[in-house]
Amino acid sequence: MNNNTTIYRKYRPSNFNSVAGHKNVVEILKKQLQTNKIAQSFLFAGQRGTGKTSIARILAKSVNCENLIEGLSCETCKNCVSSNEQKNPDIIEMDAASNNGVDEIRDIKNNVSTLPLIGKYKVYIIDEVHMLTKAAFNALLKTLEEPPKHAIFILATTEYSRIPATIISRCQIFNFKKIDKSAIKARVKFIIENEGFKVEEEVLTEIAILCDGSLRDASNIIEQLINISNIQISMNDLKSIFYVAPKQEKIELILNIIQNNPQNIIKYFEDADNQGMDFDVLTLSLIEILKEIIEFKFLKLESYLSVLDQEDLNNFNEVEIKELFKIADNLSEVYAKTKGTNINFNYLLISILKLLDKSIGFTIKDEIVNKNTANHKINSLVFKPSEAEETIQTTKPLTYSASKDFMSEFNEKAKEEIKQEEIKNVEHNLFSNQNQTNKTLEFTFNKSEEIMETNKQEKISEEIIVDQKEVLFETVDSIIFDLKQKIFENENKKSFLVSIIEVINLLLKANKDTREENQIILDNIFNVDNEGKFVNKELANELSPLIGFKIIASSENQILLRHDNFKNVKYLCYSLLEESFLKKIKTIFKGRIIIPISETLWNDIKIEYKQLKENNTLPKYIPRSFNEYYEEKRKSLLSSSVDEKTLKAASELFNIEDMEVE
């Protein structure tokens, strides 16, 4: 390998036949070339490293090829040779990330009318086109609408949503999806063998997972492996750089989950975390293995297996499909909630432990987990006998550490002191402060299946009352972890919406001094000491939905908060309709209305506000009161709920599956 040429550049495809994946895109472009019906404006959209720029260059070369054969460039004519050497004067590439101004686009506009020098077309490739300014897009618009016959524009973007609709409507759009694993594996194997190395099949599979559909990332991984390997690239080589789990480790982990072996699971995760494992990759790998096991159990076909073999599958002969589905659902949920975060190790481990069999005597409905705290203690355990039963007393309180030892000890004491036939149902409820977590541990003894409500006046043989110390999260990480759980638990619940006009109304009276004053108040809520613990734990826990928000504008009676994640915005809107939370907000922020928005909405608002201001059409400011604002939000939410209920009733009455309210 030439040391001056990277793997990615050396093996960049030079014609349509060498493109990995994107068969539909390639076939359409080849068909256009064969029929000489070539569009003049293309928009290539998709994630990074999927070949957008490479295919744009191939297309630019092909349209000017002098000896085109069935849509493929000849690679020998003057145009092809100069294109391969990146010296073709008729192919102009521009990186919009660094040349995003209107002047650069005007240069294109001024030069586009001149004829090509050596080919039939002048081809403009604008990469990362979403980075252009609004003025630059406007300058480009007219050229795209009426381009000269000899000009072709190819726009490439990783953020399709940021392209103006007026640009999109003038382009032929091609969506570049993630390159499928089989295509990546084939290409990776070709590159490695062409470089004079051998590679294990398991390494190919892991690279396909690591690169997440990006062939550029796969090429970078290959380059690192080649630098540290001799002739054979093994899993040990891959593990030394990225610390990925071998297939057998992942199979054993799944078996430990099925066999309810918490000791092995915890040991594996702690060791893996210490060695720096990428738990996003591990989660995806486990899901893929489970998928293949489930597929094989349904179809008994080995043709769909790409990771496992028959020997691996034999480990799961006695495992029911529903168990596999349960594990797969759990892992998918974890991946969706923690991808790219620094808490994925903690959350993944906790979620897997929650899957274990609950035969030890209690069911965990939900858990409060702090990485530094292994046990929770219960101060006292007192039996209250009913009038019809004999009084049973304990000489001292019992200590609970959520372990099998406690349960066996407790059951033994119960057997000694109580006749088995007299006990039918014993319920054990743990109540924590409502402002904290409202988490419940439900204990069931014998074969009891019903949860008895505290307000029912039923006679029971024994009632256990447990006093638990109030649990408060002390650090930012722990409170964010708990907040993610709350957001997930409440994601299907409705919250009010914030309109652009509401925010514009606030901006009309925005004041820098009040913004800074309120930002100080917000920062003080989550202040930490030298040990990283909250100065005011109670307040930080009560107002946890505010964490991560930034105040971007404030008036005398309104505060505009922004968060990058829409789910956090939705949850804060939901929380603002809860009386206790709203009351606390009113006190802390001196009666100012809290208006939460997402980053996306804020970008739209800035554009709208600027246009209104330029056109001198800004609306008149409308003052709002705290109580009035949130009362309106409650009513609008209630109205929406009524509409949905009416719609559902109507659809059931008339047997209509899809009915919408306009």
Give 567-582 as a 3 state SS string. Answer: HHHHHHHHHCCCHHHH
Show the 3-state SS of 146-193: CCCCCEEEEEEECCHHHCCHHHHCCCEEEEECCCCHHHHHHHHHHHHH
The residue ranges of every structural domain in the chain are 7-176, 181-242, 247-354, 362-450+460-468, 476-643
Checking if the pLDDT of 485 tops 60, the result is yes
Q: How does pLDDT run across 511-554, given as a tens digit for each residue?
A: 888 888 889 999 899 988 888 888 888 898 989 999 999 999 99
Query: Which sign does the torsion angle of CA 527, 533, 534, 540 carry?
Result: positive
Q: Supply the pLDDT for residue 33.
A: 92
Q: How does pLDDT run across 204-216, given as a tens digit for each residue?
A: 888 888 887 888 8
Local structure of residue 328 (DSSP, 8 states): H
Instruction: Give CB contacts under 8 A, 24+ apart, made by 363-368.
Output: 363/441, 363/442, 363/443, 363/444, 364/441, 365/439, 365/440, 365/441, 365/442, 366/437, 366/439, 366/440, 366/485, 367/439, 368/432, 368/437, 368/439, 368/471, 368/482
Q: How does pLDDT run across 121-130, given as a tens digit for each residue?
A: 999 999 999 9
Q: Which of 340-344, 347-351, 564-568 is least confident?
A: 340-344
Q: How does pLDDT run across 627-644, given as a tens digit for each residue?
A: 888 888 888 777 655 445
Q: How far is Cα 174 from Cα 19, in angstroms, rounded to an integer?
A: 15
> Is residue 454 classed exposed, middle or buried when 0-12, 13-18 and 19+ CB atoms within 10 A define those classes?
exposed
Q: What is the mean pLDDT of residues 646-651?
A: 51
375: confidence class by pLDDT, cuts 50, 70, 90: very low
Q: Supply the pLDDT for residue 639.
A: 63
Residue 561's nearest CA partner among 598, 607, 601 is 598
4: confidence class by pLDDT, cuts 50, 70, 90: low
Of the two residues 348 and 645, the one the predictor is more confident about is 348
**476-489 and 321-338 helices cross at what angle (nearest 10)?**
120
Q: Supply the pLDDT for residue 649.
A: 52
- Listed in sequence order, the residues at least 6 apart from 245 whose beta carbon sits closer than 8 Å to its beta carbon are 253, 272, 277, 282, 285
- % of the chain exceeding 90 in pLDDT: 20
Q: What is the mean pLDDT of residues 644-651?
A: 51
Residue 381's nearest CA partner among 366, 370, 373, 392 is 392
Q: What is the mean pLDDT of residues 40-45?
A: 93
E strand or H helix at 522, and its extent?
A: helix 512-525
356: confidence class by pLDDT, cuts 50, 70, 90: confident
Q: Which of 179-188, 273-282, 410-419, 513-522 is least confident?
A: 410-419
User: Which CATH class for the 247-354 domain?
Assistant: mainly alpha
Q: How does pLDDT run across 306-320, given as a tens digit for each residue?
A: 788 888 898 898 888
Helix (H, G, I), strand (E, B) or coil at 248: helix
Residue 541's nearest CA partner among 467, 469, 468, 482 is 482
> Is residue 186 classed exposed, middle or buried when 0-12, 13-18 and 19+ CB atoms within 10 A define those classes?
middle
Q: For the chain, give me the number of helices (H) and strands (E)?
A: 26, 15
Of the two residues 460 and 510, the one the predictor is more confident about is 510
Checking if the pLDDT of 420 tops 50, the result is no
Of the two residues 113 and 395, the one the predictor is more confident about is 113
Residue 367's nearest CA partner among 624, 375, 227 is 375
Q: What is the mean pLDDT of residues 485-511?
A: 84
Q: What is the mean pLDDT of residues 615-622?
A: 88
Best CATH choice for the domain 7-176 from the list 1.20.1090.10, 2.30.110.10, 3.40.50.300, 2.60.40.10: 3.40.50.300
Q: Which residues pair with 364 in a beta bridge?
A: 441
Whole-number average pLDDT of the chain = 78
Helical spans, DSSP H, in 318-367: 321-338, 344-354
Checking if the pLDDT of 404 tops 80, the result is no
Checking if the pLDDT of 349 tops 80, the result is yes
Q: How do 122-127 and 91-95 pair as beta strands? A: parallel
Q: Supply the pLDDT for residue 357.
A: 60
Q: Supply the pLDDT for residue 157.
A: 92
Q: Supply the pLDDT for residue 471.
A: 60
151: confidence class by pLDDT, cuts 50, 70, 90: very high
Residue 276: left if φ>0, alpha if ψ -120 to 50, beta else—which one? left
Q: How does pLDDT run across 425-458, given as a tens digit for each residue?
A: 433 333 333 344 343 333 433 333 444 444 433 3
Of the two residues 384 and 576, the one the predictor is more confident about is 576
Q: Supply the pLDDT for residue 211.
A: 83
CATH fold for domain 181-242: Helicase, Ruva Protein; domain 3 (1.10.8)
Checking if the pLDDT of 156 tops 90, the result is yes
Write out the DSSP string of 268-318: HHHHHHHTT--HHHHHHHHHHHHHHHHHHHHH--GGG-SS--HHHHGGGTT
Q: How far is Cα 40 from Cα 154, in angstroms, rounded to an integer?
A: 8
What letter represents residue 267's amino acid?
A: K
Q: Supply the pLDDT for residue 42.
A: 95
CA distances to 166, 489, 501 from 139, in Å: 12, 47, 29
Checking if the pLDDT of 61 tops 90, the result is yes
Helix (H, G, I), strand (E, B) or coil at 91: strand
Q: Supply the pLDDT for residue 652.
A: 53
Checking if the pLDDT of 79 tops 50, the result is yes
Q: Supply the pLDDT for residue 374.
A: 38
